[in-house]
Chains A and B, each alone.
Chain A
Amino acid sequence: EVELVESGGGLVQPGGSLRLSCAGSGFMFNSYVMHWVRQAPGKGLESVAAISGSGDRTWYAKSVKGRFTISRDNSKNTLYLQMGSLRTEDMAVYYCAREYPDGSPDFRGQGTLVTVSS
Chain B
Amino acid sequence: DIVMTQSPLSLPVTLGQPASFSCRSTESLVHRDGSTRLHWFQQRPGQSPRRLIYDVSNRDSGVPDRFSGSGSGTDFTLKISRVEAEDVGVYYCMQGTEWPWTFGQGTKVEIK
A107 with B49, Cβ < 8 A, contacts A44-B105, A47-B101 known: yes
Asked whether B99 lies within 8 Å of A59 as measured between CB atoms, the reply is yes
Interface stretch (choices B10-18, B20-28, B89-97): B89-97
Q: Within 8 Å CB of A111, what residues of B? A: 48
A104 with B48, Cβ < 8 A, contacts A44-B104, A46-B103, A59-B100 known: no
A-B contact count, CB below 8 Å? 59
Partner of B55, one of A102, A109, A110: A102
Among residues of B, the one whose C-beta sits closest to the C-beta of A100 is B54
Quick check: is A28 within 8 A (CB to CB) of the other chain?
A: no
Instruction: Report the bound CA distance from A50 to B99 in whole Å.
Output: 9
Q: Which of A61, A62, A111 has the most CB of B within 10 A?
A: A61
Query: B residues within 8 Å of A by Cβ?
Result: 1, 31, 35, 37, 39, 41, 48-51, 54-55, 92, 94, 96-97, 99-106
Please, could you name 27 A-B residue pairs with CB atoms under 8 Å apart, sorted by A?
Answer: A35-B101, A44-B103, A44-B104, A44-B105, A45-B41, A45-B49, A45-B92, A47-B100, A47-B102, A47-B103, A59-B99, A62-B1, A95-B49, A100-B51, A100-B54, A102-B37, A102-B39, A102-B55, A102-B96, A103-B31, A103-B37, A103-B97, A103-B101, A104-B96, A104-B101, A107-B49, A111-B48
